[in-house]
Structures are given as C-alpha cells and as structure tokens.
C-alpha cells in the first residue's frame, strides 16, 4: 500500500469525514442491533528483561512477574517499538499459550508526532492516555489507548456536529525511535517524532 504524506489537517479531515459519514449511516440503520464489543485482552506490563526469544515482565494490574515468548509477534510483524527494560508494553497473547501475537512499546508510542513533510501539524500522545492536537485540525483529540494490538483514538469533531466522543481504530505499521506509521481506514499516514517545543498556531 502506498503511504500518503499528509498534514494533520488532512488526516483529521479524513478522520472526521469518515466518522461523520459512518455516524449518519448508523442513524439511518438505528434499528439494527450493534455487534457485540470484542473484549480487551491487552496485558499492560513493565519490561524487566528480554532475550532473543523471551520477555520477562511485571503485570501492572497485580505486580506478578511472567515470561512470554514473542515468536508470533515477530513473524507477523506485530512487534512495534524497541524492547527497552523499564518501558511499558501492551501485549496480546496468542490463544491458549504464552506466545505473544502483539507487542507494542507504549512508552515509545507516547510523544510529539509531526506528520511527514508538514509545518507543525501533528498530535501529542501523552503518557497518561490523553491526546492533543498540534496545529490545525477538524477534530479535537481527547484520548488514546491500545486495545488488542490496535491503536484507539477518541476525539470530538471541531464543528460541534457530534456532542459525544467518537472512537476510531488504526493499525500500527511502523514504530521506532523516530517514526510512526499507521493505517486508518485503508490510508497510511507517516509522522516523525519531535523532541523540541511545539506551539500550536
């Protein structure tokens, strides 16, 4: 799939338009029953140690320690971000055993991200799960989290057309120290980490 280089305004406009269209369609089909929500099987952990085949972690929920293999995540290119001791990871187990099918470095995902080739447009993902716009946008970002290996972003349209927060799901493609690439509704977007001061216009 060819990566689209886009300003945050373009991404936000695409996101807003797609979600507004989806909401309108949903209103016309209000009588239809919604599909049941998939339970969140994400394990939130702190990485204690790693080898070439295993991760030794501490669960944030109860402080117990566990060891997992991550061959499936590596094979399926679902290993996103560095494996750095002390960082927080979002893990998803493969069914029935302790091999991981998704590993995302949440510590690495948090930060200032500017969209490729643009001037100051992007987003800020805070370590506490809050999200903020950087630059001009048609949506107001509210929060973010990992669920079952996918990035969920919650927002409100800036035009006030929806009073309730909306949530959309994106697939991570690349996450490293400098670059984040994600796919949203069939379109790929690339942004780069910015470590300096960012001031919204």
- List, edge to edge, every strand of the sheet that includes 65-69: 65-69, 54-59, 43-50, 88-93, 100-105, 79-80
- Report the length, in residues, of the chain: 201
CATH 2.40.128.280 segments of the chain: 8-23+108-193
The secondary element (H helix, E strand) that includes residue 18 is: helix 8-28
CATH architecture of 43-107: Beta Barrel (2.40)
pLDDT for position 5: 40
Walk along the chain (201 residues) and give the pLDDT tens digit of each residue: 444 343 334 454 444 444 444 444 444 443 345 567 889 999 999 999 999 999 999 999 999 999 999 999 999 999 999 999 999 999 999 987 789 999 999 999 999 999 887 677 889 999 999 999 888 777 789 999 999 999 999 998 776 666 788 899 999 999 999 999 999 878 888 999 987 654 443
The secondary element (H helix, E strand) that includes residue 25 is: helix 8-28
Q: Of 97, 95, 107, whose CA–CA distance to 45 is shortest?
A: 107
CATH of 8-23+108-193, one of 2.40.128.280, 2.40.30.10, 3.30.70.120, 3.30.470.10: 2.40.128.280
CATH 2.40.50.320 segments of the chain: 43-107
8 close to 116: Cβ distance less than 8 angstroms? no
């Amino acid at each position: 799939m060819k990566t689209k280089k886009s300003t945050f305004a373009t991404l936000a406009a695409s996101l807003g338009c797609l979600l507004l269209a989806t909401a309108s369609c949903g209103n016309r089909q209000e009588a239809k029953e919604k599909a049941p929500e998939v339970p969140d099987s994400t394990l939130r952990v702190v990485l204690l140690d790693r080898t070439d085949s295993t991760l030794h972690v501490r669960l944030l929920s109860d402080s117990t320690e566990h060891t997992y293999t991550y061959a499936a995540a590596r094979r399926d290119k679902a290993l996103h971000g560095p494996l750095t001791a002390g960082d927080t990871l979002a893990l998803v187990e493969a069914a029935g055993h302790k091999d991981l099918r998704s590993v995302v470095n949440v510590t690495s995902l948090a930060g200032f991200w500017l969209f490729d080739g643009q001037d100051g447009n992007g987003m800020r993902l805070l370590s506490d799960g809050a999200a903020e716009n950087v630059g001009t946008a048609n949506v107001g970002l509210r929060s973010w989290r990992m669920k079952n290996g996918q990035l969920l972003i919650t927002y409100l349209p800036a035009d006030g057309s929806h009073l309730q927060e909306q949530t959309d799901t994106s697939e991570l493609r690349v996450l490293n120290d400098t670059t984040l690439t994600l796919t949203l509704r069939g379109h790929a977007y690339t942004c780069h980490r910015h470590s300096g001061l960012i001031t919204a216009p």
